[in-house]
Amino acid sequence: MWTLQDAKNRFSAVVEAALAGTPQQVTRRGQPAVVVLSSEEYQRLLAGAVQTRESFVSHLMAFPGPETERAEAKPRGPS
The CATH number of whichever domain residue 15 belongs to comes to 3.40.1620.10
Instruction: Count how many domains the chain has.
Output: 1
Domain-embedded: residue 28: yes
In sequence order, the 6+-apart residues with CB closer than 8 A to the CB of 38 are 18, 19, 21
Q: Return d(Cα 43, Cα 57) in angstroms, integer.
A: 25
Domain-embedded: residue 77: no
Domain-embedded: residue 6: yes
Domain-embedded: residue 52: no
Predicted TM-score (pTM) of the model is: 0.62
- In the predicted model, is pLDDT for residue 69 greater than 80? no
Which domain does 14 fall in, by range? 1-42
When pLDDT is cut at 50, 70 and 90, the band that residue 60 belongs to is confident
Domain-embedded: residue 65: no
Q: In angstroms, what is the C-alpha Rg of the chain?
A: 24
Q: Where are the beta strands (DSSP E) in the chain?
A: 2-3, 24-28, 31-36
At 68 the pLDDT is: 65
- In the predicted model, is pLDDT for residue 34 greater than 70? yes
